[in-house]
């Protein structure tokens, strides 16, 4: 998975955080799952069922997440990967989704998914 560094974040990242950013990018480059696959998992959490979704305009970027501490290894601090994209299903509608990778990795299909849904950015466009 290719992860970009947004220009806004480049303004606030310190030199001591850059090795952690490179380590996160290296770890995720070796990851076998793609951004659309992670966003399909997020779409299932957002919609509340296991409908089939198509993913459009997916992207991954480095972000700061105050809920994590060294999630990607010692020294990564509150750095995380932000995933965003558009999930579409003809019957469920479209969902504009943003979610942290650390949250998606905790999806297990149980009641805790509602907690993850509360941490996601979800904009629903329901079919008429």
41 is a domain residue: yes
**Helix (H/G/I), strand (E/B), else coil: 94:** strand
Kindly tell me if the per-residue pLDDT of 117 is higher than 80: yes
Kindly tell me if the per-residue pLDDT of 115 is higher than 90: no
- Whole domain around residue 95: which residue ranges? 7-125
90 is a domain residue: yes
13 is a domain residue: yes
Tokens of residue 90, six digits: 């003809």
Kindly tell me if the per-residue pLDDT of 1 is higher than 90: no
42 is a domain residue: yes
Share of the chain above pLDDT 90, in %: 56
Q: What is the pLDDT of residue 105?
A: 87
1 is a domain residue: no
Q: Nearest CA to 82 among 106, 60, 104, 53? A: 60
Domain count, the chain: 1
Q: What is the pLDDT of residue 111?
A: 60
């Amino acid at each position: 998975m290719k992860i970009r560094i947004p220009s806004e974040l480049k303004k606030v990242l310190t030199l001591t955080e850059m090795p952690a950013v490179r380590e996160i990018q290296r770890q995720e480059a070796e990851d076998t799952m793609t951004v659309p696959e992670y966003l399909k998992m997020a779409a299932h959490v957002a919609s509340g069922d296991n409908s089939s979704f198509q993913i459009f305009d997916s992207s991954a970027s480095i972000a700061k997440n105050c809920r994590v501490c060294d999630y990607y290894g010692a020294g990564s601090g509150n750095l995380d990967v932000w995933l965003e994209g558009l999930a579409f299903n003809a019957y469920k509608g479209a969902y504009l989704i943003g979610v942290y990778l650390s949250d998606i990795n905790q999806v297990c299909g149980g009641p805790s998914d509602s907690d993850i849904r509360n941490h996601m950015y979800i904009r629903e466009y329901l079919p008429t």
